[in-house]
């Protein structure tokens, strides 16, 4: 019971890596509150795992603050924040055929990914930080990605958002360390979620061929790293970005 009695907030917890993390934290004794935009899946996960769910858009600062305030009113503290929520809107910066521009990433697609993946991390951490400062301790873990470190073709918006999370992690580790708040990030590679499984078989086969371990990762394997970083076992780990990618180097 490595998180016994600790209050944990997890964003994007209704499915995939988020749901695996909710399950893992509940099993390890945490009092878990999670949010997601998918109300049906969120309610089902909460009932299944015995935790609290709220429908919250992490890109909405006021909604995030209201969620955090209600949890603090109920529990009196927040020990762990896992910034896991994220979206994809892939596309090339520009697509040219025979010298003519035929398509480009829309401003709406760029903004929507930045708003959830980057601004959402800012919103949630800023709302939770004063609580952790008052109690002189806490752990913040955010989801970046291997593509935030290595770049990837056709993912201008996603890469920008995930690279930004790496930067925020480094800054906050320095700013919040004096209050005994640890700030780290996890960079998953190809993880077997519904999002990955929806890709064409040809694309999946190509992805798998570049995996040194010969397989995709499992959501639980990312959740295990979140658990380590949230636990007292990582008491001297801060400002780190841990890759959970099976040795993958994007683009090779």
Which is nearest to 25 in space by CA: 55, 4, 53? 4
Tokens 């801060």 identify what position?
Answer: 238
What are the DSSP calls for 140-156, one per residue?
EEEE--HHHHH--TTBH
Distance CA 75, CA 155 (A): 39
Q: Is 179 assigned a catalytic role?
A: no
Angle at CA 12, nearest 5°, toward 129 and 213? 105
In angstroms, the first-to-last Cα distance of the chain is 40
Going across the sheet that includes 181-188, the strands are 52-55, 31-36, 7-11, 80-83, 138-143, 181-188, 241-244
Distance CA 226, CA 80 (A): 10
Distance CA 8, CA 104 (A): 40
Distance CA 121, CA 134 (A): 20
Tokens 């609580």 identify what position?
Answer: 131
Catalytic residue among 53, 67, 158, 172: 158
Residues taking part in catalysis = 158
């Amino acid at each position: 019971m490595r998180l016994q009695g600790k209050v944990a907030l997890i964003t994007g917890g209704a499915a995939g890596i988020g749901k695996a993390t909710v399950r893992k934290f509940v099993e390890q004794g945490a009092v878990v509150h999670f949010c997601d935009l998918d109300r049906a899946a969120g309610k089902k996960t909460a009932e299944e795992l015995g935790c609290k769910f709220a429908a919250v858009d992490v890109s909405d600062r006021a909604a995030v603050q209201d969620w955090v305030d209600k949890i603090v009113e109920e529990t009196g503290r927040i020990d762990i924040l896992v910034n896991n929520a994220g979206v994809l809107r892939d596309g090339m910066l520009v697509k040219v055929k025979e010298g003519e521009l035929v398509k480009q990433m829309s401003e709406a697609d760029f903004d929507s990914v930045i708003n959830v993946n980057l601004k959402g991390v800012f919103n949630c951490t800023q709302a939770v930080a004063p609580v952790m400062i008052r109690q002189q301790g806490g752990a913040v873990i955010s989801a970046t990605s291997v593509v935030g470190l290595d770049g990837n073709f056709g993912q201008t918006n996603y890469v920008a958002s995930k690279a930004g999370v790496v930067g925020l992690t480094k800054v906050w580790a320095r700013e919040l360390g004096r209050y005994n708040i640890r700030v780290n990030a996890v960079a998953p590679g190809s993880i077997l979620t519904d999002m990955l499984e929806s890709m064409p078989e040809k694309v999946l086969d190509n992805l798998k061929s570049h995996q040194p371990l010969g397989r995709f990762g499992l959501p639980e394997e990312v959740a295990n790293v979140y658990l380590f970083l949230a636990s007292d076992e990582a008491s001297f780990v801060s400002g780190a970005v841990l890759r959970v990618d099976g040795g993958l180097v994007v683009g090779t």
